[in-house]
C-alpha cells in the first residue's frame, strides 16, 4: 500500500471511529491485488465497518464469507493481466 495516502487516511479514520461505512465504486478502486483487498476487508470487519462495492453489488456487512469477494478480485486481476 505504498503511496496510497488517501487509503491510509481512510483506514486511520476508521480506526479512530470517525467512519462507520465505506462505499467504493469497485473492488479495483479499493486495492490493486487480492491480498491487500482481503486484508482491508478483514481489518474493517474487525472494526464492524462494512464496505459496499457499488459495481459488484457487494456489501461486506451482509457477506457470509469472503469467498465471493475473493473470486471477484481474482477475476478482475486475470482480466487486467490480459489487457
pTM of the model: 0.76
Angle at 20 between CA 7 and CA 47, to 5 degrees: 80
CA distance 78 to 15: 32
57 closest CA partner among 68, 67, 43, 45: 68
Q: What is the pLDDT of residues 16-51, one digit of tens each?
A: 999 999 999 998 899 888 888 889 998 999 999 999
26 closest CA partner among 75, 65, 81, 62: 75
Q: Is the pLDDT of residue 64 over 70?
A: no
Amino acid at each position: 500500500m505504498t503511496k496510497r495516502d488517501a487509503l491510509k487516511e481512510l483506514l486511520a479514520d476508521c480506526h479512530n471511529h470517525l467512519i462507520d461505512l465505506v462505499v467504493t465504486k469497485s473492488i479495483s478502486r479499493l486495492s490493486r491485488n487480492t491480498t491487500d483487498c482481503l486484508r482491508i476487508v478483514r481489518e474493517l470487519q474487525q472494526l464492524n465497518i462494512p464496505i459496499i462495492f457499488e459495481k459488484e453489488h457487494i456489501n461486506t456487512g451482509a457477506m457470509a464469507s469472503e469467498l465471493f469477494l475473493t473470486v471477484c478480485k481474482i477475476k478482475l486481476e486475470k482480466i487486467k493481466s490480459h489487457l
